[in-house]
């Protein structure tokens, strides 16, 4: 099966060019000059996709999702089926989700459970990171085994004591192991011990509304934990990737480590670029829709996060997609903000939201592709299979209309959740046609993919280590 995508502007992490994209079966075979003989020859018998006036970009890679994640006595509302379908609608053709090891479990048990959840259900290709919540000699041995199975990154938590939390000693030990086996440690950097004190004090004062989730997780405690994670990684000699970074202080710590040559990396998420602590303070219980950790911050961090994306101190935009219904799930914390399940939906709108950064002049087109696709693919061992339009790469391709306008709404989104944190936001740009390994998943406003098409992706190691 041949497909010829013609008339579009191909955008890569290094720039833009007018080119035709030639696809055979699941792979890209060539990019050629528009109207060239090679294109004409290939066109015979090929399906043609007209991309005139559109951008042709590599399928986006979301390196941070939580489908079906158990949290706070409930479970994230998107399954692998519904969440990956919504991802495809938004131009994301690969997710890397977090398998969870619970305290007392073997890594094997956690990983097997996540394979079972995902297998046969995903509309797009998927890989796994492993959440490591019990550091002991047995689980340290298992890290190497998981590496051999293509699970090459492990998330540790400095937050959530009693659930996912690891002590500094445990973190150091896991980082030492990561150094030995070539893994990347991903870090949820918030000082959970101090936060628990502040949460208890807030509740004792009767401060139960959603906005107190934010005031009890001050940005200093993210900056402090980030600096500590970086120091522990330096001592262990392991790479570290700070997930969902939200604050200027944490960004400064990452920038300093990177300037000193450390293998330190960080991501941010659209919610930290577009939403703020003011949303958590919305009237009544509305603010619960915006409760996630780290919390949304004051608006004055936004400009610095956009700057970090330009300077590459923030290398990736991920969604941290972890949706909970407002009715019946977020409501668990109606009388106590600490019982609101942490997390917000986002897997469908990352390309669109960051494209608003292109419209506003915050990011170049090339950088937009780089932070959404090329860098996450390379950071998590999927490049050049994913993240680039090049001969031999998977034909994961998004034909993006840069001029169509749309209004984000829960009434029209495809995520399995009853609200949108961007309700009513009018934006420019939309993924029109989405291909995964040469197969059209979304076209003409219709989903043409299917549950079970997505394959598990064993991943190589981090492609950025110096």
Contacts to ligand URP by CB under 6 A: 66, 188, 244, 292-293, 320, 322, 342-343
HEC sequence for 60-77? EEEEEECCCCEECCEECC
Minimum Å gap between C-beta 424 and Zn ion is 26
Nearer to ligand URP, 5 or 111 (CB): 111
Quick one: which of 81, 170, 313, 320 contacts Zn ion (CB under 5 A)? Answer: 320
For Zn ion, the nearest residue by Cβ is 188
- Which partner, Zn ion, ligand URP, none, binds residue 367 by CB below 5 to 8 Å per kind? none
Nearer to Zn ion, 81 or 320 (CB): 320
Q: Using the 8-state DSSP alphabet, how is residue 59 labeled?
A: P
Minimum Å gap between C-beta 400 and ligand URP is 27
Q: Which two tokens stand for residue 318?
A: 């991920």
Nearer to ligand URP, 329 or 433 (CB): 329
Q: Which two tokens stand for residue 54?
A: 């559109």
Nearer to ligand URP, 16 or 215 (CB): 215
- Which partner, ligand URP, Zn ion, none, binds residue 436 by CB below 5 to 8 Å per kind? none
78 binds Zn ion (CB under 5 A): no
Tokens 């209004």, located at residue: 407
Cα-based distances in Å from 79 to 128, 131, 283 = 15, 18, 30
Cα separation, 84 vs 93, in Å, equals: 8
Nearer to ligand URP, 127 or 343 (CB): 343
Minimum Å gap between C-beta 347 and ligand URP is 12
State whether the Cα torsion 271-274-441-367 is positive or negative: negative
Please choose, out of 180-188, 295-303, 413-421, 453-461, the segment that lies near Zn ion by the rule CB under 5 A: 180-188
DSSP run (H or E) holding 115: helix 107-118
Taking a C-beta distance cutoff of 8 angstroms, is the pair 263, 461 a contact? no
Closest CA to 17 of 362, 402, 389: 389
Nearer to Zn ion, 4 or 273 (CB): 273
Buried b (16+ CB within 10 A) or exposed e, 217-254: bbbebbbbbbbbbbbbbbebebbbbbbbbbbbbbbbbb
Minimum Å gap between C-beta 193 and ligand URP is 16
188 binds Zn ion (CB under 5 A): yes
Nearer to ligand URP, 170 or 190 (CB): 190
Nearer to ligand URP, 19 or 199 (CB): 199
Extended beta strands in 7-73, E state? 9-12, 15-18, 20-24, 27-32, 47-50, 55-58, 60-65, 70-71
Nearer to Zn ion, 344 or 435 (CB): 344
Please choose, out of 42-50, 81-89, 318-326, 373-381, the segment that lies near Zn ion by the rule CB under 5 A: 318-326
Minimum Å gap between C-beta 61 and ligand URP is 17
Minimum Å gap between C-beta 36 and ligand URP is 46
Q: Which two tokens stand for residue 154?
A: 């492990």
Characterise 45 by phi-psi region: left (phi > 0), alpha (psi -120 to 50), beta (else): left
Minimum Å gap between C-beta 281 and Zn ion is 22
- Which partner, Zn ion, ligand URP, none, binds residue 301 by CB below 5 to 8 Å per kind? none
Minimum Å gap between C-beta 200 and Zn ion is 21
Minimum Å gap between C-beta 18 and ligand URP is 40
Q: Which two tokens stand for residue 243?
A: 């997930």
97 binds Zn ion (CB under 5 A): no
Minimum Å gap between C-beta 244 and ligand URP is 6
DSSP 274-297: H--HHHHT-TTTGGGGG--SSPP-
- Which partner, ligand URP, Zn ion, none, binds residue 211 by CB below 5 to 8 Å per kind? none
- Which partner, Zn ion, ligand URP, none, binds residue 178 by CB below 5 to 8 Å per kind? none
β-pair type (426-436, 397-407): antiparallel
Rounded to 5 degrees, what angle do the CA atoms 327, 244, 417 make?
Answer: 20
- Which partner, Zn ion, ligand URP, none, binds residue 292 by CB below 5 to 8 Å per kind? ligand URP
Half-sphere exposure of residue 122, counting CA atoms within 13 Å on the CB side?
26
Number of residues that bind Zn ion (CB under 5 A): 2
Cα-based distances in Å from 19 to 40, 44, 53, 96, 422 = 13, 18, 12, 30, 34
Nearer to ligand URP, 173 or 244 (CB): 244
Binding site for Zn ion (CB under 5 A): 188, 320
């Amino acid at each position: 099966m041949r497909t010829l995508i013609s008339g579009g502007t191909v955008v890569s992490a290094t720039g833009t060019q007018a080119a035709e994209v030639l696809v055979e079966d699941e792979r890209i075979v060539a990019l050629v000059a528009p109207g060239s003989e090679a294109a004409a020859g290939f066109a015979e018998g090929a399906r043609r996709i007209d991309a005139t006036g559109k951008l042709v970009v590599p399928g986006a890679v979301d390196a941070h999702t939580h489908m079906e994640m158990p949290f706070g006595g409930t479970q994230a509302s998107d399954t692998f089926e519904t969440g990956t379908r919504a991802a495809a609608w938004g131009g994301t053709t690969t997710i890397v989700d977090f398998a969870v090891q619970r305290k007392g479990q073997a890594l094997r048990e956690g990983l097997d459970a996540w394979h079972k959840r995902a297998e046969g259900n995903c509309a797009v290709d998927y890989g796994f990171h492993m959440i490591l919540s019990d550091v002991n000699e047995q689980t340290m041995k298992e890290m190497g085994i998981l590496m051999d199975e293509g699970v090459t990154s492990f998330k540790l938590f400095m937050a959530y004591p009693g659930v996912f939390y690891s002590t500094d000693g445990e973190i150091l030990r896991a980082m030492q192991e990561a150094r030995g086996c070539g893994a990347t440690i991903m870090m949820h950097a918030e000082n959970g011990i101090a936060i628990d004190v502040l949460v208890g004090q807030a509740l004792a004062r009767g401060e139960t509304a959603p906005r107190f989730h934010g005031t009890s997780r001050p940005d200093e405690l993210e900056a402090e934990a980030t600096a500590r994670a970086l120091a522990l990684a330096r001592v262990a000699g392991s790479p570290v990737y700070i997930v969902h970074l939200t604050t200027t202080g944490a960004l400064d710590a990452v920038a300093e480590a990177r300037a000193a040559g450390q293998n330190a990396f960080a991501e941010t998420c659209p919610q930290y670029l577009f939403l703020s602590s003011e949303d958590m303070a919305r009237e009544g219980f509305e603010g619960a829709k915006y409760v996630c950790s780290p919390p949304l911050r004051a608006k004055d961090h936004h400009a610095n996060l956009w700057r970090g994306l330009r300077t590459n101190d923030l290398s990736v935009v991920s969604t941290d997609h972890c949706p909970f219904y407002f009715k019946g799930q977020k409501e668990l914390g109606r009388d106590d903000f600490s019982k609101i399940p942490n997390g917000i939906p986002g897997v469908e709108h990352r390309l669109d939201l960051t494209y608003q950064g292109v419209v506003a002049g915050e990011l170049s087109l090339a950088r937009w592709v780089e932070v959404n696709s090329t860098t996450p693919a390379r950071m998590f061992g999927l490049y050049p299979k994913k993240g680039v339009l090049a001969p031999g790469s998977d034909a994961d391709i998004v034909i993006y209309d840069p001029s169509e306008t749309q209004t984000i709404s829960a009434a029209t989104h495809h995520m399995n959740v009853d609200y949108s944190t961007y309700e009513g936001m009018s934006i420019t740009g939309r993924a029109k046609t989405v291909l995964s390994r040469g197969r059209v998943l979304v076209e003409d406003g219709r989903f043409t993919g299917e549950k079970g098409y997505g394959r598990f992706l064993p991943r190589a190691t981090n492609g950025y280590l110096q």
